[in-house]
Structure formats: C-alpha cells, structure tokens
C-alpha cells in the first residue's frame, strides 16, 4: 500500500512542513558530498547510544556536541529512498497538523517529537555503537497527532494490482493503527530483525508522544506570527488528484460527483485528475476547468458513465468553489 494523500484540505499553505522538507533535502545533499568522510560525519551528527552510555566515549564529546546530536540526527538520511519515504509521509500528514496547531507551535511540536523519539531509541538501545539517523521518529509524532486530531479522515492509498493502479480510501485511524502495530511487531522481534539499523522504538516513542501532545499543542494560544503566516500563506489550490464518490439512481447510467476548487482556480482555470470508483467506463481521467468558472457549474463528460450492454451514460461533475 502506498499512501497518496489524505482527503482533508488544509486552509493555509504548510510553510513549516515544506520548510522542514527543504531543509532535509539540503542536509542530505551536503551529506552526500562527504565522500570518504561520510562514516565519520554520520557518527559525529547521528544518534549513537554508546556516546551517552559509555563514559570513556562520552568524555570525548562536549556537552554541546552531545546535545546537538539529539537534533542533527533527525535531519540525516541513509539514502535517497529513506529520504523520499520520510518526506512523503511528512507531506501527507504534516499540512493538516500544522494547519490545526499553527506554524510556530507545529515547529516546536515537530522538534520535540524528534527529541522524544531519540530518547526512546537511547532507552531501547542503551550502549549500542550503531548510529541512528532519520526524520522518521519526528514524523511518527506528526502521524500520532493526525491519529488523534483527524480520526475520521481518509487516506487515498494506491494498491498496484498486476501493474494496474487501484485507488482505495482507508480511514486514517485504520491506516495509522496498522502502521503502529507493525512498529510494535518488528520492535518485539529478537536479533537483527528487531533492530537492523531501523529505530522501531523511536517510531513508537514519537507516535505515542504525538498522540499525547496533539491536543495540548493545538490548544495553546495562537501567536501573532501564526496569524500573520495564516494570512500570508492562504492555500491557492485544491489537490491535483481528486477521488469522487459518484451517485446514480436506480437504472440511471449517468453518474454525478463534486469537484472542489479554490476561488483562484475558478478565476484562472485549472486541470484536475479525477478518480471514479465503481463501474464507470473510465476510472481515471483529466478534467479541464475553464477560467471564470462559477460555483455550481456542471461539466458533462459524455460516454464516461456506467455501461449496460450497448448503452453508456455520462458523468456530470458539479464544481464547488471553496469559500
């Protein structure tokens, strides 16, 4: 299963979420330039439990170096796929959590989740000389917050079946619950399977802390900075891919659905990829919304509805302009 996006549209542009993603990418590029010094770089800025547990090793580092490693480890990654996987998860779940908390509170929450995940890893691997790197613990905290704040949201998930893309919406509480159970399962395995360089307990610690702290951070007073950022980064577009739940009555071959766009998209026009579940003639197709489209406008797509023998219906999409 590959998560594509959630169904919730944030009210503002997730500036902090995308800023964190950009910083991770820049750090990874710098990390990739280390060449033969890469291993020393990882041991210096990654999280190595032995640096804290073994007095002889700890004595080689200053307090500042030890404290900084608890921050820097969450911005390092072990490869392109490691980076992409983490950043994609942050992209999916971070925007709505940031939208609920506000930019400054979300940044503090994200860093605190990363620190807690680091301490969880130290506790579960005390004395290990294997460095741990990656943003997954902090992102797990964001996922835990999403689990609490948006339990009824649905995650659009891609399930490839014989090279055919199949999209299905899974409730967030189910998707994230299964993810957490897998973390406990792998963490409980003995030997390499329970470790293998993957900080399972860091994921668990971050997720559980995110669940606990989600309500608190979302209820903290909003700062003037958050108000200004909310106004400056108001979202200008809806998701490119939209999955509609078409309605049809009785033997009617026509299908009816709703497409969400912003006021800016209504003025300038836009293109959306539409996915239609069920027995439509085509499951995925592109739709062009012309400029100056009004709220409530209907677009007719001939020959894309349900089939019945030699007959085929149409799809009618109602354009809804947010706000």
pLDDT of 125 strictly over 70: yes
Q: Do 2-232 and 241-321 have matching folds?
A: no
The domain ranges of the chain are 2-232, 241-321
pLDDT of 173 strictly over 50: yes
Residue 37 DSSP class: G
Phi, psi of 255, rounded to the nearest 5 degrees: -115, 145
Across 37-45, average pLDDT: 94
CA angle 234–240–246, rounded 5-degree value: 115
Q: What is the pLDDT of residues 197-229, one digit of tens each?
A: 578 999 999 999 999 999 888 777 777 777 776
Question: How far is it, in rounded angstroms, from Cα 297 to Cα 320?
Answer: 8
Of 277 and 275, the structure prediction assigns the larger pLDDT to 275
Assign 297 a pLDDT band (cuts: 50, 70, 90). very high
Give the domain 2-232 fold: Rhomboid-like fold (1.20.1540)
Two structure tokens written together for 206: 């971050």
Burial environment of residue 113 by CB neighbours within 10 A (0 to 12, 13 to 18, 19 or more): buried
Question: How far is it, in rounded angstroms, from Cα 222 to Cα 231?
Answer: 13
Quickly list H helices, the chain: 15-32, 38-45, 50-53, 55-58, 63-72, 80-101, 103-124, 136-149, 172-188, 200-219, 224-232, 263-268
Question: How far is it, in rounded angstroms, from Cα 197 to Cα 205?
Answer: 16
Contact between residue 208 and residue 144 where contact means Cβ atoms under 8 Å apart:
yes
How high does pLDDT run on average in the chain?
87
Return the CATH architecture of domain 241-321. Answer: Sandwich (2.60)
Two structure tokens written together for 176: 């994230």
Least Cα distance to 67 among 80, 55, 56, 51 occurs for 51
pLDDT of 193 strictly over 50: no
For the chain, give percent helix, strand, coil, nearest 5. Answer: 50, 20, 30
pLDDT of 191 strictly over 60: no
């Amino acid at each position: 299963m590959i998560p594509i996006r959630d169904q919730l549209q944030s009210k503002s542009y997730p500036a902090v979420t995308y800023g964190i993603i950009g910083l991770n990418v820049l750090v990874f590029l710098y990390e990739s330039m280390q060449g033969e010094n890469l291993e020393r770089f990882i041991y210096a800025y990654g999280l190595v439990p032995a640096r804290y547990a073994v007095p002889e090793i700890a004595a080689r580092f200053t307090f500042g170096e030890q404290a900084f490693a608890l921050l820097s480890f969450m911005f390092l990654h072990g490869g392109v796929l490691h980076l992409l996987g983490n950043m994609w998860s942050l992209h999916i779940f971070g925007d709505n959590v940031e939208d609920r908390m506000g930019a400054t509170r979300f940044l503090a929450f994200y860093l605190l989740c990363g620190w807690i995940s680091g301490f969880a890893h130290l506790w579960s691997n005390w004395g290990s000389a294997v460095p741990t790197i990656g943003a997954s613990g902090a992102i797990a905290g964001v996922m835990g917050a999403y689990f609490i704040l948006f339990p009824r949201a649905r995650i659009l998930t891609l399930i490839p079946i014989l090279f055919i893309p199949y999209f299905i919406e899974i409730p967030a509480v189910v998707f994230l619950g299964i993810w957490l159970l897998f973390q406990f399962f792998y963490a409980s395995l003995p030997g390499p399977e329970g470790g293998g360089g993957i900080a399972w307990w860091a994921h668990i610690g971050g997720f559980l802390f995110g669940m606990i702290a989600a309500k608190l951070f979302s209820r903290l007073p909003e700062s003037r900075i958050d108000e200004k950022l909310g106004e400056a980064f108001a979202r200008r577009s809806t998701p490119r891919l939209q999955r509609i739940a078409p309605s049809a009555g009785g033997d009617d071959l026509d299908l009816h659905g709703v497409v969400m766009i912003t006021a800016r998209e209504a003025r300038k026009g836009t293109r959306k990829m539409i996915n239609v579940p069920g027995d439509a003639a085509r499951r995925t197709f592109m739709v062009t919304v012309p400029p100056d489209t009004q709220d409530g406008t209907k677009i007719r797509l001939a020959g894309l509805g349900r089939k019945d023998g030699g007959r085929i219906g149409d799809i009618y999409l109602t354009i809804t302009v947010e706000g």
